[in-house]
Amino acid sequence: MSKAHVQTTINGEQTEFLCEPRQSLLEVLRETLGFTGTKEGCNDGNCGACSVTVDGVLIDSCLMLAVEADGVEIGTVEGLATPESLHPLQQKFLEHAALQCGICTPGFLVASKALLDHNPDPSEYEVRHWLAGNLCRCTGYDKIVRAVLDAAQEVRASA
């Protein structure tokens, strides 16, 4: 199978790669480009562990072909922190103990960031509704929702 040449932007950096047409964006991010922060939980779009943003839109990267990444901007968990500091969402997840095994955490962080970019002052219901596509089996979600609401407040305060 001959490979496609794809040019894309990931976390603000221009990147290019070769891939087979049958490879998902998730597979290429992890195996070809080394962005293993994005996780595979189900590979059929039901758990959200592979959440990334594409031109600001939240998607499951297991449901997108890598060739579709050509010319778009992809955001992964690796793009949340700066060299100086963690993103408030990451910091609040740590403070609230909103992770136990941590495998769903990158997906939740990317999804939560997309929420706050879209709605900086969500209610608890709006947080739960937005994050319903991200499954967590360890926490029961309570501390995750609290962390997101707390981070939203902090982001609003520093804006």
Partner 1 sequence: MSSGNGYKVIGTRPIRHDGVDKVTGRAVYGGDTRLPGLLYGQVLRSPHAHAHIKSIDTAKAVALPGVKAVLTGADLPEAGDTIVDLGEGPARLKYMSDNVLATDKVLYSGHPVAAVCATSVHIAEEALDLIEVEYEVLESVLNVREAMQEGAPQLHADMTTQEFGEDTGKTSNLATHFQHKLGDPDQAFASADVVIEREFQTATVHQGYIEPHNATAMWNSDGQITIWTSTQGSFTARAQTGAVLDVPVSKIKVVPQEIGGGFGGKIPIYLEPIAALLSKASGQPVKLIMTRPAVFESTGPTPGSYVKIKMGANKDGKIVAADAYIAFESGAYPGGLVGAAAMCVFSCYDIADGLIDCYDVVLNKPRSFAYRAPGSTQVAFATEHVVDLLAAELGIDPLEFRLKNSATTGTRRIDGVVYPKMGCKEVMEAIRDSDHYKSAAPSGSNQGRGISVGYWFNVGLQSACTASVNSDGTVSLTEGSTDIGGSRTSIAMQFAETLGLTAEDVKPQVVDTDSIGHTDVTGGSRVTYATGWAAYKAALDVQEQLCARAAQLWEIEADQVKFEDGTFSSGDKSYTFKELAGHLDETGGPVIGRATVNPDSGVGGSFAANIADVEVDPETGKVQVLRFTVIQDAGRAIHPSYVEGQMQGGSAQGIGWALNEEYYYSDNGHLDNSSYLDYRIPTCLDLPMIETIIVEVPNPGHPYGVRGVGEANIAPPPAAMANAIGNAVGVRPQELPMKPGRIVAALATGG
Looking at the Cβ atoms of 71 and 145, the one nearer to partner 1 is: 145
Looking at the Cβ atoms of 48 and 72, the one nearer to partner 1 is: 48
Looking at the Cβ atoms of 6 and 87, the one nearer to partner 1 is: 87
Q: How near is the Cβ of 55 to partner 1 at its closest, in Å?
A: 21
Q: How near is the Cβ of 133 to partner 1 at its closest, in Å?
A: 8
- Whether the CB-CB separation of 86 and 80 falls below 8 Å is answered with yes
Number of helices (H), then strands (E), belonging to the chain: the values are: 5, 5
Sheet holding 4-10, edge to edge: 13-19, 4-10, 73-75, 51-54, 57-60
Q: How near is the Cβ of 16 to partner 1 at its closest, in Å?
A: 20
Residue 56 half-sphere exposure toward CB, CA atoms < 13 A = 4
Which tokens in the block code for residue 127?
A: 């947080």
Nearest residue to 35 (alpha-carbon basis) of 86, 83, 80, 76: 76
Looking at the Cβ atoms of 71 and 124, the one nearer to partner 1 is: 124
Q: How near is the Cβ of 51 to partner 1 at its closest, in Å?
A: 11
Binding site for partner 1 (CB under 8 A): 20, 22-23, 27, 30, 34-44, 46-47, 49, 76-78, 80-81, 86, 90, 93-97, 99-106, 109, 124, 127-129, 131-146
Q: How near is the Cβ of 86 to partner 1 at its closest, in Å?
A: 7
Looking at the Cβ atoms of 17 and 35, the one nearer to partner 1 is: 35
Burial 58-96 (b: 16+ CB within 10 A, else e): bbbbbebbbbebeebbbbbbbbbeeeeeebbbbbbbeeb
